[in-house]
Amino acid sequence: MRINCLSCGHKLDLGDAYDDYAGQAKCLVCGAMLEIRTEEGNVRSVGVAMRIGALATGVRENTP
């Protein structure tokens, strides 16, 4: 399963381990933390939990 990073556009290959998952995944290119939810191998939602600038300050961004 692949998703695009919402911060930089890089394609993340999540693999079969993320077929039923709710939590965070880190983009290895820009460092953004993505909040993802998958069910039965399908992506249900993706949002940015933290961007790299927020990681430096420790501030969590609000995302819809």
Mean pLDDT (whole number) for 27-52: 88
**How is the chain split into domains, by residue range?**
2-54
pLDDT for the residue numbered 64: 45
pLDDT for the residue numbered 36: 94
pLDDT-derived band of residue 55, with 50, 70 and 90 as boundaries? very low
- Residues near 59 by Cβ (< 8 Å), separated by ≥ 6? none
The dihedral sign for the CA sequence 14, 21, 46, 62 = negative
pTM for the full model? 0.70
d(CA 8, CA 16): 23
pLDDT-derived band of residue 52, with 50, 70 and 90 as boundaries? low
Share of the chain above pLDDT 70, in %: 78
